[in-house]
Structure 1
Amino acid sequence: MTLIFAHRGSAGTHPENTFAAYLEAERVGVDGIELDVQLTKDNQIVVIHDSTVNRTTNGIGKVKDYTLEEIKQLDNGSWFAPEFDGEKVPTLTEVLEWLQTNKLLLNIELKNETNIVPYLEELVIKEIEKHNLVERVIISSFNHYSIRKINKLNSKIECAILFLEKLYEPWNYATTVRAKGLHSYNPKTSDAMIREAQERGYPVRVFTVNKEERMQQLIAQGCSAIFTDYPERALQVREVVRG
Protein backbone atom coordinates (compact mmCIF):
# COMPACT_ATOMS: atom_id res chain seq x y z
CA MET A 1 0.00 0.00 0.00
CA THR A 2 1.22 3.47 -0.85
CA LEU A 3 1.74 5.46 2.35
CA ILE A 4 0.61 9.08 2.51
CA PHE A 5 2.95 11.55 4.21
CA ALA A 6 1.66 15.03 4.99
CA HIS A 7 4.29 17.39 3.57
CA ARG A 8 5.14 19.88 6.32
CA GLY A 9 1.82 18.79 7.78
CA SER A 10 -1.33 19.55 5.87
CA ALA A 11 0.49 22.45 4.22
CA GLY A 12 -2.10 23.06 1.51
CA THR A 13 -4.81 23.90 4.02
CA HIS A 14 -2.87 24.99 7.12
CA PRO A 15 0.35 26.93 7.82
CA GLU A 16 3.28 24.61 7.11
CA ASN A 17 5.31 23.07 9.91
CA THR A 18 2.88 24.05 12.66
CA PHE A 19 0.90 21.95 15.08
CA ALA A 20 -2.25 23.16 13.35
CA ALA A 21 -1.00 21.43 10.18
CA TYR A 22 0.12 18.29 12.01
CA LEU A 23 -3.13 17.90 13.93
CA GLU A 24 -5.15 18.30 10.74
CA ALA A 25 -3.06 15.59 9.07
CA GLU A 26 -3.64 13.31 12.04
CA ARG A 27 -7.37 14.07 11.95
CA VAL A 28 -7.77 12.97 8.33
CA GLY A 29 -5.91 9.71 8.98
CA VAL A 30 -2.55 10.24 7.32
CA ASP A 31 0.19 7.61 7.64
CA GLY A 32 3.05 9.98 8.40
CA ILE A 33 4.29 13.54 8.77
CA GLU A 34 7.19 15.14 6.92
CA LEU A 35 8.96 18.11 8.49
CA ASP A 36 12.19 20.12 8.30
CA VAL A 37 14.68 20.82 11.08
CA GLN A 38 17.54 23.20 11.73
CA LEU A 39 19.32 24.75 14.70
CA THR A 40 18.84 28.02 16.52
CA LYS A 41 21.65 30.21 17.79
CA ASP A 42 21.63 28.28 21.08
CA ASN A 43 21.65 24.87 19.30
CA GLN A 44 17.99 24.01 19.81
CA ILE A 45 16.28 21.97 17.08
CA VAL A 46 13.36 23.86 15.56
CA VAL A 47 10.95 22.84 12.83
CA ILE A 48 11.04 25.32 9.97
CA HIS A 49 11.79 24.96 6.27
CA ASP A 50 13.53 28.15 5.17
CA SER A 51 16.93 29.32 6.41
CA THR A 52 15.24 32.61 7.34
CA VAL A 53 12.05 33.31 9.27
CA ASN A 54 10.91 35.94 6.75
CA ARG A 55 8.37 33.95 4.71
CA THR A 56 6.48 32.06 7.39
CA THR A 57 6.65 34.31 10.45
CA ASN A 58 6.35 37.98 11.32
CA GLY A 59 10.09 38.13 11.96
CA ILE A 60 13.10 38.92 9.81
CA GLY A 61 16.49 37.23 9.72
CA LYS A 62 18.18 33.87 9.73
CA VAL A 63 16.98 31.04 11.92
CA LYS A 64 20.53 30.48 13.16
CA ASP A 65 20.65 34.04 14.52
CA TYR A 66 17.64 33.53 16.81
CA THR A 67 17.70 31.86 20.21
CA LEU A 68 14.88 29.44 20.93
CA GLU A 69 13.27 31.94 23.29
CA GLU A 70 13.37 34.61 20.58
CA ILE A 71 11.99 32.41 17.82
CA LYS A 72 9.16 31.27 20.09
CA GLN A 73 7.97 34.89 20.27
CA LEU A 74 7.24 34.95 16.53
CA ASP A 75 3.82 34.47 14.96
CA ASN A 76 4.12 31.43 12.71
CA GLY A 77 0.57 31.25 11.39
CA SER A 78 -1.11 34.50 10.38
CA TRP A 79 0.92 34.72 7.16
CA PHE A 80 -1.27 31.84 5.94
CA ALA A 81 -4.63 33.02 7.25
CA PRO A 82 -5.81 35.25 10.14
CA GLU A 83 -7.37 32.34 12.04
CA PHE A 84 -3.91 30.85 12.56
CA ASP A 85 -2.59 33.89 14.40
CA GLY A 86 -0.53 32.79 17.37
CA GLU A 87 0.87 29.55 15.95
CA LYS A 88 4.45 29.05 17.12
CA VAL A 89 7.56 27.53 15.56
CA PRO A 90 7.63 23.99 17.01
CA THR A 91 10.68 22.29 18.42
CA LEU A 92 11.55 18.77 17.38
CA THR A 93 11.16 17.72 21.01
CA GLU A 94 7.56 18.97 21.05
CA VAL A 95 6.76 17.00 17.91
CA LEU A 96 8.38 13.82 19.22
CA GLU A 97 6.44 14.14 22.46
CA TRP A 98 3.22 14.50 20.46
CA LEU A 99 4.12 11.35 18.50
CA GLN A 100 3.94 9.44 21.77
CA THR A 101 0.16 9.95 21.58
CA ASN A 102 -0.31 8.36 18.14
CA LYS A 103 1.23 5.84 15.73
CA LEU A 104 2.27 8.17 12.92
CA LEU A 105 5.53 7.77 11.05
CA LEU A 106 7.85 10.76 10.87
CA ASN A 107 10.16 11.88 8.09
CA ILE A 108 12.73 14.39 9.34
CA GLU A 109 14.48 16.38 6.64
CA LEU A 110 17.79 17.89 7.74
CA LYS A 111 18.05 21.40 6.31
CA ASN A 112 21.80 21.49 5.91
CA GLU A 113 22.30 21.18 2.17
CA THR A 114 23.72 24.70 1.73
CA ASN A 115 24.95 25.60 5.22
CA ILE A 116 27.28 23.63 7.44
CA VAL A 117 25.40 22.89 10.65
CA PRO A 118 27.77 21.28 13.16
CA TYR A 119 26.27 18.58 15.36
CA LEU A 120 22.81 18.69 13.75
CA GLU A 121 22.93 14.94 13.11
CA GLU A 122 24.06 14.11 16.64
CA LEU A 123 21.41 16.31 18.25
CA VAL A 124 18.59 14.95 16.10
CA ILE A 125 19.56 11.33 16.79
CA LYS A 126 19.81 12.04 20.51
CA GLU A 127 16.20 13.28 20.53
CA ILE A 128 14.94 10.32 18.48
CA GLU A 129 16.64 7.84 20.79
CA LYS A 130 15.46 9.66 23.90
CA HIS A 131 11.85 9.32 22.75
CA ASN A 132 12.26 5.67 21.63
CA LEU A 133 11.17 6.45 18.08
CA VAL A 134 14.01 4.86 16.10
CA GLU A 135 11.61 2.45 14.40
CA ARG A 136 9.13 5.15 13.36
CA VAL A 137 11.52 7.75 11.93
CA ILE A 138 13.09 8.25 8.51
CA ILE A 139 15.83 10.85 8.10
CA SER A 140 16.33 12.45 4.70
CA SER A 141 18.56 15.17 3.30
CA PHE A 142 19.90 16.64 0.10
CA ASN A 143 23.24 16.60 1.93
CA HIS A 144 24.30 13.02 1.38
CA TYR A 145 27.40 13.37 3.55
CA SER A 146 24.89 13.91 6.34
CA ILE A 147 23.07 10.71 5.43
CA ARG A 148 26.31 8.75 5.66
CA LYS A 149 27.02 10.32 9.04
CA ILE A 150 23.59 9.41 10.38
CA ASN A 151 24.15 5.81 9.36
CA LYS A 152 27.45 5.72 11.23
CA LEU A 153 25.86 7.20 14.35
CA ASN A 154 22.85 4.85 14.39
CA SER A 155 22.45 2.33 11.59
CA LYS A 156 19.01 1.31 12.87
CA ILE A 157 17.49 4.60 11.72
CA GLU A 158 16.35 4.48 8.11
CA CYS A 159 18.00 7.13 5.94
CA ALA A 160 16.93 8.30 2.49
CA ILE A 161 18.62 10.43 -0.14
CA LEU A 162 16.70 13.39 -1.50
CA PHE A 163 17.41 14.25 -5.13
CA LEU A 164 15.97 16.66 -7.70
CA GLU A 165 17.36 15.24 -10.95
CA LYS A 166 17.24 11.85 -12.62
CA LEU A 167 20.01 9.68 -11.24
CA TYR A 168 21.37 6.69 -13.09
CA GLU A 169 20.53 3.61 -11.03
CA PRO A 170 19.99 5.60 -7.82
CA TRP A 171 19.77 2.38 -5.79
CA ASN A 172 23.45 1.76 -6.58
CA TYR A 173 24.42 5.28 -5.59
CA ALA A 174 22.39 4.96 -2.37
CA THR A 175 24.60 2.09 -1.24
CA THR A 176 27.64 4.40 -1.21
CA VAL A 177 26.12 6.48 1.61
CA ARG A 178 24.27 3.51 3.18
CA ALA A 179 20.85 5.01 2.39
CA LYS A 180 17.92 2.62 2.38
CA GLY A 181 15.32 4.83 0.69
CA LEU A 182 14.99 7.05 -2.38
CA HIS A 183 13.09 10.33 -2.08
CA SER A 184 12.71 11.63 -5.61
CA TYR A 185 11.33 14.82 -7.13
CA ASN A 186 7.96 14.15 -8.73
CA PRO A 187 8.60 15.72 -12.20
CA LYS A 188 11.84 13.70 -12.55
CA THR A 189 10.47 10.37 -11.32
CA SER A 190 9.76 7.69 -13.90
CA ASP A 191 7.60 4.62 -13.53
CA ALA A 192 10.54 2.47 -14.62
CA MET A 193 12.78 3.84 -11.87
CA ILE A 194 10.15 3.22 -9.22
CA ARG A 195 9.56 -0.32 -10.41
CA GLU A 196 13.22 -1.35 -10.57
CA ALA A 197 14.23 0.39 -7.34
CA GLN A 198 11.46 -1.28 -5.39
CA GLU A 199 12.18 -4.65 -6.93
CA ARG A 200 15.71 -4.20 -5.57
CA GLY A 201 14.39 -3.41 -2.10
CA TYR A 202 14.64 0.39 -2.15
CA PRO A 203 11.39 2.14 -1.26
CA VAL A 204 10.66 5.15 -3.46
CA ARG A 205 8.85 8.07 -1.85
CA VAL A 206 7.94 10.85 -4.26
CA PHE A 207 7.67 14.56 -3.43
CA THR A 208 5.62 16.77 -3.70
CA VAL A 209 2.49 15.22 -5.27
CA ASN A 210 -0.55 17.51 -5.21
CA LYS A 211 -2.46 16.68 -8.41
CA GLU A 212 -5.05 13.93 -8.14
CA GLU A 213 -4.16 12.36 -11.49
CA ARG A 214 -0.54 11.91 -10.45
CA MET A 215 -1.57 10.61 -7.03
CA GLN A 216 -3.70 8.01 -8.77
CA GLN A 217 -0.84 6.95 -11.07
CA LEU A 218 1.65 6.51 -8.26
CA ILE A 219 -0.77 4.72 -5.96
CA ALA A 220 -1.93 2.37 -8.74
CA GLN A 221 1.71 1.52 -9.48
CA GLY A 222 2.39 0.67 -5.86
CA CYS A 223 4.87 3.46 -5.14
CA SER A 224 6.03 3.10 -1.53
CA ALA A 225 4.88 6.57 -0.46
CA ILE A 226 4.05 10.06 -1.61
CA PHE A 227 4.55 13.39 0.12
CA THR A 228 1.66 15.79 -0.40
CA ASP A 229 0.40 19.15 0.83
CA TYR A 230 -3.14 17.75 0.59
CA PRO A 231 -3.20 14.52 2.59
CA GLU A 232 -6.98 14.30 2.83
CA ARG A 233 -7.24 14.46 -0.96
CA ALA A 234 -4.54 11.81 -1.32
CA LEU A 235 -6.27 9.49 1.14
CA GLN A 236 -9.51 9.82 -0.81
CA VAL A 237 -7.71 8.98 -4.05
CA ARG A 238 -6.11 5.95 -2.41
CA GLU A 239 -9.51 4.68 -1.32
CA VAL A 240 -10.82 4.97 -4.89
CA VAL A 241 -7.78 3.21 -6.38
CA ARG A 242 -7.95 0.39 -3.85
CA GLY A 243 -11.68 0.00 -4.53
Structure 2
Amino acid sequence: MFLENRIIAHRGGFFDNQKIYENTKEAFQIAIQKGLAIELDVHVTKDEQVVVYHDDNLKRLMNVDATIEELRLEELPTKPFPIPLFRDVLQQIDGKVPLLIEIKSMHQIGHSVDIIMNVLKDYTGEYAIQSFHPYVLLYLKWHYKNVIRGQLGSPNRQKDIPKIQKWITKSMCFNILTKPTFISYEYNEMSFEKITKLKKKYVMICFTIREQADYTKYKNIYDAWICENMQNWKEG
Protein backbone atom coordinates (compact mmCIF):
# COMPACT_ATOMS: atom_id res chain seq x y z
CA MET A 1 0.00 0.00 0.00
CA PHE A 2 1.19 3.52 -0.77
CA LEU A 3 1.39 4.54 2.90
CA GLU A 4 3.92 1.85 3.80
CA ASN A 5 7.37 3.01 4.92
CA ARG A 6 6.17 6.60 5.21
CA ILE A 7 6.07 9.19 7.95
CA ILE A 8 2.53 10.60 7.99
CA ALA A 9 2.22 14.17 9.25
CA HIS A 10 -0.51 14.13 11.94
CA ARG A 11 -2.92 17.03 11.33
CA GLY A 12 -0.13 18.49 9.24
CA GLY A 13 2.61 17.41 11.64
CA PHE A 14 4.31 20.79 11.96
CA PHE A 15 2.30 23.01 14.29
CA ASP A 16 2.44 24.56 17.73
CA ASN A 17 -1.17 25.84 17.91
CA GLN A 18 0.23 29.31 18.52
CA LYS A 19 1.77 30.44 15.25
CA ILE A 20 0.82 27.51 13.05
CA TYR A 21 -2.32 25.57 13.90
CA GLU A 22 -3.15 21.92 13.34
CA ASN A 23 -5.24 20.92 10.32
CA THR A 24 -4.56 24.19 8.51
CA LYS A 25 -3.20 24.94 5.06
CA GLU A 26 -0.05 26.36 6.66
CA ALA A 27 0.72 23.10 8.46
CA PHE A 28 -0.12 21.05 5.38
CA GLN A 29 2.15 23.18 3.20
CA ILE A 30 5.17 22.39 5.37
CA ALA A 31 4.42 18.66 5.12
CA ILE A 32 4.07 18.97 1.34
CA GLN A 33 7.41 20.76 1.09
CA LYS A 34 9.03 17.95 3.07
CA GLY A 35 7.39 15.26 0.94
CA LEU A 36 5.47 13.70 3.83
CA ALA A 37 2.08 12.03 3.67
CA ILE A 38 -0.63 14.01 5.47
CA GLU A 39 -3.21 12.84 8.01
CA LEU A 40 -6.25 15.06 8.51
CA ASP A 41 -9.73 14.92 10.01
CA VAL A 42 -13.06 15.75 8.41
CA HIS A 43 -16.47 16.73 9.75
CA VAL A 44 -19.77 17.56 8.08
CA THR A 45 -21.52 20.78 9.10
CA LYS A 46 -25.25 21.24 9.62
CA ASP A 47 -25.58 22.52 6.05
CA GLU A 48 -23.61 19.54 4.71
CA GLN A 49 -20.28 21.22 4.05
CA VAL A 50 -17.14 19.15 4.69
CA VAL A 51 -14.50 20.89 6.80
CA VAL A 52 -11.09 19.91 8.13
CA TYR A 53 -10.95 19.96 11.93
CA HIS A 54 -10.12 17.39 14.59
CA ASP A 55 -12.41 17.78 17.60
CA ASP A 56 -16.16 17.25 17.53
CA ASN A 57 -16.49 20.31 19.77
CA LEU A 58 -14.91 23.68 18.95
CA LYS A 59 -14.02 24.61 22.54
CA ARG A 60 -10.35 23.57 22.66
CA LEU A 61 -9.00 25.69 19.81
CA MET A 62 -11.81 28.11 18.93
CA ASN A 63 -13.21 28.78 22.43
CA VAL A 64 -16.75 28.10 21.22
CA ASP A 65 -18.73 25.46 23.08
CA ALA A 66 -20.56 23.95 20.13
CA THR A 67 -20.12 21.00 17.82
CA ILE A 68 -19.40 21.31 14.12
CA GLU A 69 -22.45 19.19 13.31
CA GLU A 70 -24.83 21.69 14.90
CA LEU A 71 -23.45 24.76 13.07
CA ARG A 72 -23.72 25.94 9.50
CA LEU A 73 -20.53 26.77 7.62
CA GLU A 74 -21.16 30.50 7.95
CA GLU A 75 -21.57 30.08 11.73
CA LEU A 76 -18.17 28.48 12.29
CA PRO A 77 -15.73 30.71 14.18
CA THR A 78 -12.83 32.20 12.24
CA LYS A 79 -10.51 33.06 15.15
CA PRO A 80 -7.77 32.24 15.85
CA PHE A 81 -7.80 30.66 12.36
CA PRO A 82 -10.35 29.88 9.66
CA ILE A 83 -11.42 26.25 9.51
CA PRO A 84 -10.61 25.10 5.97
CA LEU A 85 -13.05 23.49 3.60
CA PHE A 86 -12.04 19.96 2.64
CA ARG A 87 -12.34 20.74 -1.07
CA ASP A 88 -9.88 23.63 -0.70
CA VAL A 89 -7.39 21.39 1.11
CA LEU A 90 -7.69 18.77 -1.64
CA GLN A 91 -6.97 21.48 -4.19
CA GLN A 92 -3.89 22.50 -2.19
CA ILE A 93 -2.50 18.96 -1.82
CA ASP A 94 -3.47 18.02 -5.39
CA GLY A 95 -1.82 14.60 -5.28
CA LYS A 96 1.59 16.00 -4.31
CA VAL A 97 1.71 13.67 -1.30
CA PRO A 98 -0.50 10.77 -0.12
CA LEU A 99 -3.45 11.58 2.11
CA LEU A 100 -4.86 9.73 5.13
CA ILE A 101 -8.36 10.96 5.97
CA GLU A 102 -9.99 10.28 9.33
CA ILE A 103 -13.78 10.38 9.31
CA LYS A 104 -14.90 11.49 12.75
CA SER A 105 -17.89 10.33 14.78
CA MET A 106 -21.19 11.64 13.43
CA HIS A 107 -24.91 11.08 13.23
CA GLN A 108 -26.37 9.64 10.03
CA ILE A 109 -23.09 7.93 9.19
CA GLY A 110 -24.05 6.67 5.76
CA HIS A 111 -25.35 10.04 4.58
CA SER A 112 -22.28 11.84 5.94
CA VAL A 113 -19.91 9.38 4.28
CA ASP A 114 -21.74 9.96 0.99
CA ILE A 115 -21.23 13.72 1.36
CA ILE A 116 -17.51 13.26 2.04
CA MET A 117 -17.07 10.84 -0.84
CA ASN A 118 -18.83 13.26 -3.17
CA VAL A 119 -16.12 15.83 -2.40
CA LEU A 120 -13.50 13.17 -3.16
CA LYS A 121 -15.09 11.88 -6.38
CA ASP A 122 -12.85 13.87 -8.74
CA TYR A 123 -9.70 13.74 -6.60
CA THR A 124 -6.97 11.85 -8.43
CA GLY A 125 -4.30 11.79 -5.72
CA GLU A 126 -3.59 8.80 -3.49
CA TYR A 127 -5.75 8.63 -0.38
CA ALA A 128 -7.01 6.22 2.24
CA ILE A 129 -9.76 6.58 4.83
CA GLN A 130 -9.68 5.54 8.48
CA SER A 131 -12.12 5.74 11.37
CA PHE A 132 -12.61 4.54 14.93
CA HIS A 133 -16.20 3.71 14.00
CA PRO A 134 -16.45 0.29 12.30
CA TYR A 135 -19.73 1.18 10.61
CA VAL A 136 -17.90 3.86 8.60
CA LEU A 137 -15.65 1.11 7.23
CA LEU A 138 -18.58 -1.23 6.67
CA TYR A 139 -20.42 1.46 4.72
CA LEU A 140 -17.31 2.10 2.63
CA LYS A 141 -17.03 -1.64 1.97
CA TRP A 142 -20.65 -1.79 0.81
CA HIS A 143 -20.77 1.38 -1.27
CA TYR A 144 -17.17 2.41 -2.07
CA LYS A 145 -15.40 -0.94 -2.15
CA ASN A 146 -12.35 0.36 -4.03
CA VAL A 147 -11.49 2.90 -1.34
CA ILE A 148 -8.59 1.80 0.87
CA ARG A 149 -9.90 1.76 4.43
CA GLY A 150 -8.35 1.32 7.86
CA GLN A 151 -9.55 0.68 11.40
CA LEU A 152 -8.34 3.00 14.15
CA GLY A 153 -7.89 1.35 17.53
CA SER A 154 -6.79 2.31 21.02
CA PRO A 155 -7.38 1.19 24.60
CA ASN A 156 -7.36 4.79 25.82
CA ARG A 157 -9.73 6.61 23.46
CA GLN A 158 -13.02 8.28 24.39
CA LYS A 159 -13.07 7.49 28.08
CA ASP A 160 -16.62 8.86 28.46
CA ILE A 161 -18.25 6.44 26.02
CA PRO A 162 -20.12 3.25 27.05
CA LYS A 163 -18.05 0.19 27.94
CA ILE A 164 -19.17 -1.75 24.88
CA GLN A 165 -17.90 1.02 22.59
CA LYS A 166 -14.59 1.12 24.47
CA TRP A 167 -14.25 -2.62 24.00
CA ILE A 168 -14.97 -2.34 20.27
CA THR A 169 -12.36 0.43 19.91
CA LYS A 170 -9.76 -1.60 21.78
CA SER A 171 -10.45 -5.04 20.30
CA MET A 172 -11.29 -4.07 16.71
CA CYS A 173 -13.59 -7.09 16.74
CA PHE A 174 -15.49 -5.96 13.64
CA ASN A 175 -12.46 -6.35 11.36
CA ILE A 176 -13.82 -9.72 10.28
CA LEU A 177 -16.79 -7.87 8.74
CA THR A 178 -15.22 -4.59 7.64
CA LYS A 179 -12.05 -6.17 6.19
CA PRO A 180 -9.72 -3.17 6.48
CA THR A 181 -6.49 -2.97 4.52
CA PHE A 182 -4.67 -1.43 7.46
CA ILE A 183 -4.90 -0.88 11.20
CA SER A 184 -3.88 2.37 12.91
CA TYR A 185 -3.15 1.77 16.58
CA GLU A 186 -1.68 3.78 19.45
CA TYR A 187 2.04 3.23 19.04
CA ASN A 188 2.94 2.07 22.55
CA GLU A 189 -0.23 0.14 23.43
CA MET A 190 0.28 -3.11 21.54
CA SER A 191 2.81 -5.86 22.17
CA PHE A 192 5.51 -6.62 19.63
CA GLU A 193 4.14 -10.16 19.34
CA LYS A 194 0.64 -8.95 18.49
CA ILE A 195 1.94 -6.39 15.98
CA THR A 196 4.00 -9.10 14.28
CA LYS A 197 0.96 -11.38 14.09
CA LEU A 198 -1.31 -8.66 12.69
CA LYS A 199 1.28 -7.62 10.09
CA LYS A 200 0.69 -10.95 8.36
CA LYS A 201 -2.81 -9.74 7.48
CA TYR A 202 -2.80 -5.93 7.70
CA VAL A 203 -0.55 -2.98 7.06
CA MET A 204 0.20 -1.72 10.58
CA ILE A 205 0.32 2.05 11.15
CA CYS A 206 0.96 3.64 14.53
CA PHE A 207 -0.14 6.97 16.06
CA THR A 208 0.76 9.50 17.41
CA ILE A 209 4.54 9.71 17.77
CA ARG A 210 5.66 13.09 19.10
CA GLU A 211 9.28 12.45 20.05
CA GLN A 212 12.04 11.60 17.62
CA ALA A 213 13.39 8.97 20.01
CA ASP A 214 10.06 7.11 19.86
CA TYR A 215 10.12 7.21 16.06
CA THR A 216 13.60 5.67 16.12
CA LYS A 217 12.36 2.99 18.53
CA TYR A 218 9.28 2.02 16.52
CA LYS A 219 10.35 2.58 12.93
CA ASN A 220 11.32 -1.07 12.47
CA ILE A 221 8.21 -2.36 14.24
CA TYR A 222 5.36 -0.66 12.36
CA ASP A 223 4.87 -0.24 8.61
CA ALA A 224 4.15 3.51 8.79
CA TRP A 225 4.18 6.19 11.49
CA ILE A 226 1.77 9.03 12.18
CA CYS A 227 3.85 11.79 13.76
CA GLU A 228 3.56 15.37 14.99
CA ASN A 229 5.74 17.92 16.79
CA MET A 230 8.27 17.36 14.02
CA GLN A 231 9.27 21.02 13.99
CA ASN A 232 11.34 20.09 17.06
CA TRP A 233 13.03 17.06 15.48
CA LYS A 234 16.57 17.14 14.15
CA GLU A 235 16.86 16.97 10.38
CA GLY A 236 17.66 13.52 9.06
Equivalent position of 2:129 in the other structure: 139
Equivalent position of 2:11 in the other structure: 8
In structure 1, give the amino acid aligned to 2:228: D
CA 1:24–1:34 in structure 2 vs 1: closer, same or farther (change >3 Å)?
same
Task: Compute the displacement of 1:118 (Å).
Answer: 5.1
Partners of 1:161 and 1:51 in 2: how far apart? 19
Partners of 2:234 and 2:117 in 1: how far apart? 30
Q: What SS does the corresponding residue of 1:208 show, helix, strand or coil? A: strand
Deviations 1:80-101 (A, max 9, x none): xxxxxxx31011111111122x
Q: What SS does the corresponding residue of 2:78 show, helix, strand or coil? A: coil
Task: Compute the displacement of 1:173 (Å).
Answer: 5.1
Q: Does 1:18 align with 2:24?
A: yes
Equivalent position of 2:98 in the other structure: 105
CA contact 2:42–2:102 (8 Å) conserved in 1? yes
CA 1:235–1:124 in structure 2 vs 1: closer, same or farther (change >3 Å)?
farther
Q: What SS does the corresponding residue of 1:205 show, helix, strand or coil? A: strand
Task: Compute the displacement of 1:129 (Å).
Answer: 1.8
TM-score after normalising by structure 1: 0.80
Partners of 2:219 and 2:230 in 1: how far apart? 13
Residues 76-155 of structure 1: pairs in structure 2 closer than 5 A: 78=80, 87-100=81-94, 102-112=95-105, 115-117=107-109, 119-133=111-125, 136-155=126-145
Identical pairs, percent:
22
How large is the Cα RMSD of the aligned pairs?
Answer: 2.6
Equivalent position of 2:56 in the other structure: 51
Higher helix share: 1
In structure 2, give the amino acid aligned to 1:40: T
CA 1:172–1:64 in structure 2 vs 1: closer, same or farther (change >3 Å)?
closer
Task: Compute the displacement of 1:212 (Å).
Answer: 2.0
CA contact 1:4–1:231 (8 Å) conserved in 2? no
Task: Compute the displacement of 1:187 (Å).
Answer: 2.5
Task: Compute the displacement of 1:117 (Å).
Answer: 4.2
TM-score after normalising by structure 2: 0.82
Partners of 1:181 and 1:58 in 2: how far apart? 35
